[in-house]
């Protein structure tokens, strides 16, 4: 079994244990939602999750989706990011390397950055009278594609 499939099996197992402990129903829909995060390693908002579920022929209600996301957050299999006011994004939490997020403020696209230099800089930083355990770094700006579009539009003016 390759590493990716192994991770998918492990998270499925963890989810099963959690659902049993909480006496929640183990529905195929719940597992389908979990699986999306561990096959397609992107950052999803609720709308894009909904789309993928439809593509995979799962018909779930908004309520079911929200409810399942709460369960996945609660058992630490999914992480939630709040990028800006109304931008909630979710991503896999298990076996996910530390990375920084680059957020385009024009198209809301999220990119991951695994810049080792930046990571070491933060990890090695001593902070007076404080012991850091973890951190999130969000960098806001304009992505390449949007920058090009904006340039073109400005030229037209
Ligand atoms: Zn953009
Ligand atoms: Zn991420």
Give the pLDDT confidence of 111-136 residue by residue, as tens digits.
Answer: 999 999 998 999 898 999 999 887 88
Residue 112 Cα to ligand 2 middle (Å):
6
Q: Residue 142 burial (CB < 10 Å; 0-12/13-18/19+)?
A: middle
pTM over 0.75: yes
CA 150 to chain centre: 28
Confidence of residue 84 (pLDDT cuts 50, 70, 90): confident
Going from the C-alpha of 66 to that of each of 1, 12, 47, 141, 148, the distances in angstroms are 32, 19, 11, 29, 36
- How many angstroms does the Cα of residue 129 sit away from the middle of ligand 1? 39
49: CA distance to ligand 2 center in Å? 15
Structural contact between residues 102 and 110, judged by C-beta atoms closer than 8 angstroms:
yes
Q: How far is the CA of 102 from the centre of ligand 2 (A)?
A: 9
Distance between Cα 41 and ligand 2 center (Å): 9
Q: Which residues surround ligand 2, an ion (CB under 5 A)?
A: 91
| Mean pLDDT computed over every residue of the chain | 92
* CB burial of residue 48 (10 Å; 0-12, 13-18, 19+): middle
Mean pLDDT score, 22-34: 96
Cβ atoms 102, 141 nearer than 8 A: yes
Query: Ligand 1 centroid to 141 CA: how many Å?
Result: 8
Q: Which of 63-72, 90-99, 125-134 has the highest mean pLDDT?
A: 63-72
Q: pLDDT (tens digit, 9 = 90+) per residue, 35-58?
A: 999 998 789 999 999 999 999 999
Q: Is the pLDDT of residue 1 over 70?
A: no
């Amino acid at each position: 079994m390759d590493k990716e499939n192994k991770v998918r099996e492990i998270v499925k197992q963890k989810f099963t244990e959690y659902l049993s402990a909480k006496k929640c129903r183990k529905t195929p829909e719940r597992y389908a939602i979990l699986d999306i995060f561990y096959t397609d390693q992107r950052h999803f908002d609720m709308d894009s999750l909904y789309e993928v579920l439809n593509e995979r022929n799962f018909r779930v209600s908004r309520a079911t989706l929200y409810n399942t996301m709460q369960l996945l957050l609660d058992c630490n299999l999914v992480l939630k990011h709040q990028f800006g006011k109304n931008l909630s994004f979710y991503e896999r939490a298990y076996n996910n390397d530390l990375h920084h997020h680059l957020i385009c403020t024009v198209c809301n696209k999220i990119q991951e950055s695994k810049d080792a230099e930046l990571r070491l800089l933060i990890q090695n930083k001593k902070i007076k009278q404080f012991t850091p355990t973890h951190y999130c770094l969000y960098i806001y700006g304009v992505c390449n594609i949007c920058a090009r579009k904006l340039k073109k539009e400005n030229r037209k003016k």
